[in-house]
C-alpha cells in the first residue's frame, strides 16, 4: 500500500483546506474528522506522517498521539497543531510530537514541516 498523510482535524473547513493543500502537493491524504475514526484505519495503512489537531472532541490530540505511539505507528512522525498557546506548550513539553505548530499557521510553513518529516519516514 502507498504511503499516506493522515490528517486528524475536527473542524470541517480546516480539514477540507488541509486536504486540498496536500492533494495539490501530491500527497495521498486520509482525512479523519473524529479521533474515534482512527480505529477504522484500513489494515496495512502506511502513514508517512500524522498531522493532529490537539483540541479534539472526547480525547485530546495529545492522547491520540500517545495511543498511536503505543501501537504500530510508534515511529511515524507526528505534527501537532492548536490555536491555544497553552496546549501548544503542553504538547511541545510532552515530547510526543516531532513538532507542534500554532494555528493559524502559514500554509507554506506547514507544507515545509510536513515535507521534512514525511521525507524522513518515506
- Tens of pLDDT, residue by residue over 80-101, are 999 999 999 999 999 999 999 9
Q: Is 63 exposed, middle or buried (0-12, 13-18, 19+ CB in 10 A)?
A: middle
Question: What DSSP designation does 45 have?
Answer: -
Task: Decide if pLDDT at 1 tops 60.
Answer: no
The CATH fold assigned to 3-121 is Rossmann fold (3.40.50)
* Prediction pTM value: 0.93
All three cell numbers of 114: 510536513
Residue 118: per-residue pLDDT: 87
Q: What percent of the chain has pLDDT over 90?
A: 80
Q: Is the pLDDT of residue 42 over 90?
A: no
Across 1-122, the runs of DSSP E, i.e. the strands, are: 3-8, 29-32, 46-53, 78-82, 99-102
Segment 29-38, tens digit of pLDDT: 999 999 998 8
Please state the domain extents for the chain. Answer: 3-121
Amino acid at each position: 500500500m502507498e504511503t499516506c498523510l493522515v490528517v486528524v482535524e475536527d473542524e470541517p473547513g480546516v480539514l477540507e483546506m488541509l486536504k486540498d493543500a496536500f492533494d495539490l502537493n501530491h500527497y495521498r491524504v486520509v482525512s479523519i474528522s473524529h479521533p474515534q475514526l482512527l480505529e477504522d484505519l484500513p489494515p496495512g495503512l502506511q502513514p508517512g506522517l500524522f498531522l493532529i489537531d490537539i483540541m479534539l472532541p472526547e480525547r485530546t490530540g495529545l492522547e491520540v498521539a500517545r495511543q498511536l505511539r503505543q501501537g504500530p505507528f510508534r515511529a511515524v512522525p507526528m505534527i501537532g497543531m492548536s490555536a491555544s498557546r497553552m496546549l501548544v506548550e503542553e504538547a511541545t513539553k510532552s515530547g510526543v510530537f516531532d513538532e507542534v505548530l500554532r494555528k493559524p499557521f502559514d500554509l507554506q510553513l506547514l507544507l515545509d514541516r510536513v515535507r521534512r518529516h514525511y521525507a524522513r519516514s518515506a
